[in-house]
Structure 1
Amino acid sequence: METLISLMINVFLYTFRRSLVGLTAVSVGLFLISVLIIYTIEAFGGIAEFQRLFELMPDSILALFHAQGGFGTTPTSYIAGDYRHPIYLITGFSFGIAFASGAISREIERGTILMYLASPIERWQYVLAKIGVLVIGTAIIAFSIWLGSFVGAELYGLPKGEIDNMLLVFAQINMWSLMLAFGGITLLISAYSSDGGLTIAWAAGISIVMYFVDFLSLIWSVAEPLGPLSLFHYFDPVGIARDAVFPWFEFLILMGVSALSMLLALYVFQKRDISN
């Protein structure tokens, strides 16, 4: 038993080391963007001026940020709203989708999976090791975004009473659960596929369709019932900052999707034939 656990830990550590370059690039990039976002407050002339500009924005722009109910009047709301910017979503998802696709299908495509499974490690242990890296990697990305916001606020000199760091933590927990949900879906596709590129294409396609469905449901009343079918429907950092609550319902939905996808990936990979 100890040998099997040791093998699983070795796979985890080896995979994590291989992912460090990409993970570091994404984390540092989003950290720096989060720092710079703070300085854009001044570019708008302050929060009060931004509020006036906000009132002039068309509904289609507000829908991108889930801000039809208002952005709020604090720097916390302004920062949280930016977390839904496509830069954060695309960059954050790039790690999860690329990693999860490479975790199984890319290894099968290259034939390296046979080297792993030639050792006494069980298939489910191999997948669990990969899931561990996915969970920790996406958590590091979410933490880097929050840290960038915190450091930016300190450097900019925002009064401590004007920013609620705990609400920004809540927003990043929400984003982490979203990244993990899409990572889990990608892992499930990866467990079925033997083509890493095709896995990425499917995962990216699903995420784009879901983003479009979420956006459409907010600007077109006919499509409104479709909103809950998109995972982006459950990512609302503006609402978290505005209402000052932890999004338990959204968090549980996204974590449920993550858990179900990962369990199915374990089952599919355990049953499939990869001999050729």
Structure 2
Amino acid sequence: MTFTLVRKFLRDVRWPLLVVALQIFGFSMLWVKVAQRVTTEIAPFFNGIAMVSQINPKLFEEVVFKGPGKVSQSVLGGSDIQFERPNDFLAVELLHPVILILTGVWAIGRTAGAVAGELDRGTMELLLSQPIPRNRLILAHLITDAIVIPILCVSVLGGTRAGLEVMGPFTVDYSVLDKMPKLPGGRPLPKGPAELPVDVSRQPRAIVNLAALMFAISGVTLAISSLNRSRWRAIGFAVVVVMAMFIVNVLGQLWEAAAPLRPLSVYYYYQPQRIWLKEDWIVNLSDVWPGSPGVPLVGVLAAVGAVGYASALLVFTRRDLPAPL
């Protein structure tokens, strides 16, 4: 009977799942083109200006990411990201608001309807009129998450690889350097490699962090859904909670006084660029909480999701279900 429920839940979400998966796939393809243009055309242009002007190229980053621009830098991975490197720029995709919004909306929208949505539609009585223990209903949603979350993650992987096949190699365009003034002594501006190396072999590891984030948001939302009878009210509460955690994490990077609040946000443990570029799966809490140990990024998110599901199970199996309106 549990797998009958799983089939029902998958049937209910098949079209929204297809739409979101295609959007993620398309954006991942597009991001490859953006990365190619920035690293092979725009970055050489600014590096050429820096050489002619005899200034440090880092000065451009300081100007671009100064003031309000620092918010964008914080959202896109902080100062560790080198935007002239293809691998770094491709890793930024997993931190882009489009990916965060699509995956967040999916996680909230699906699990908000798990309990509150069924009560809202009046279908919960039909489900529970069958010989199904309430805990099987929560288990079925857990299995559904274990199926649909990897599908969305594969959409990112597939889009990136399709983009690399379609866009071709990252061949650097140095023609703009020939139009710039010469260096002292009439020397031409030096050129780098003709083609930039691209390595996405570590992307699947970073995607595990994305899957863990979606599971954490799903768990939190399911716990909220188990306390409500209105799907839209559950969505509203979940959006407020998730947005508050996102804002706290960004604010903590911009304002030192708010930094100790960052570990309370699930987004603090979402650092896919760290896994992709450095193979570092541990975040050191002592950076914001002196004396604290390092904790696993994926482990914390998985624990949050598990606690959310456990809370939903505890509440749902004990609450009196209201009659449909």
TM-score where L is the length of structure 1: 0.91
Match for 1:114: what amino acid?
Answer: E
Match of residue 32 from structure 2: 38
Residue 170 (structure 1) aligns with: 205
1:60 to partner: Cα distance = 2.4
Structure 1 residues 161 and 9, CA, compared in 2 at 3 Å: closer, same or farther?
A: farther
The answer as to whether partners of 2:281 and 2:297 remain within 8 angstroms in 1 is no
Which residue in 2 is equivalent to 1:57?
64
The answer on 1:261 being equivalent to 2:308 is yes
Shift of 1:55: 5.2
Indicate the structure (1 or 2) with the bigger Cα radius of gyration.
Answer: 2
1:144 pairs with 148, 155, 159, which one?
155
Structure-2 separation of matches of 1:99 and 1:219: 32
Q: 2:7 matched to which residue of 1?
A: 13
**For the residues of structure 2 that align with 1:275 and 1:215, how far apart are their CA atoms?**
39
Instruction: Return the letter of the residue paired with 2:18.
Output: T
Q: CA deviation at 1:22?
A: 0.4
Aligned Cα root-mean-square deviation (Å) = 2.1
Instruction: Measure, in 2, the Cα distance between the counterparts of 1:116 and 1:224.
Output: 46
Does residue 1:222 correspond to 2:233, yes or no?
no
* % identical equivalent positions: 26
Change (3 A) 1:161 1:252: farther
Q: 2:145 maps to which residue?
A: 134
Map 1:55-134 onto structure 2 (within 5 A): 56-58=63-65, 59-71=70-82, 74-134=85-145
In 1, distance between residues paired with 2:160 and 2:196?
15
- State the 4+ residue runs in structure 1 displaced beyond 6 angstroms: none
Gaps of 5+ in 1: 1-6
The runs of 5 or more residues in structure 2 that have no matched partner are 48-56, 171-194, 283-294
Q: Is the 8 A contact 1:210 1:232 kept in 2?
A: yes
- 1:25 corresponds to: 19
How many pairs does the alignment contain?
270
**Are residues 175 and 27 of structure 1, via their aligned partners in 2, closer, same or farther at CA, if it must alter by over 3 Å?**
same
The superposition leaves residues 221-272 of structure 1 with CA deviations (integer Å, 9 ceiling, x where unpaired) of 1111111111111111222233133457110000000111101111110001
What do the CA deviations read for 1:63-105 (whole angstroms, capped 9, x no partner)? Answer: 0112222336532211111211111111111111111011110
Q: Which amino acid in structure 2 is aligned with residue 57 of structure 1?
A: V
Separation in structure 2 between the aligned mates of residue 240 and residue 77 of structure 1, nearest angstrom? 11
Q: Distance in 2 between matches of 1:72 and 1:246?
A: 22
* Structure 2 SS opposite 1:83: helix
**Residue of structure 2 in register with 1:3 after alignment:** none
Give distance in 2, aligned partners of 1:255 and 1:140.
Answer: 18
Greater helix content:
1
Residue pair 1:71, 1:81 contacting (<8 A) in 2 also: no
Q: Is the CA contact 1:146–1:168 (under 8 Å) kept in the aligned structure 2?
A: yes
Q: Partners in 1 of 2:311 and 2:197 — Cα distance? A: 44
Cα distance between partner residues in 2 of 1:203 and 1:62: 26
CA distance in 2: counterparts of 1:191 and 1:232, whole angstroms: 23
Distance in structure 2 (CA, Å) of the matches to 1:259 and 1:149: 30
TM-score after normalising by structure 2 = 0.78
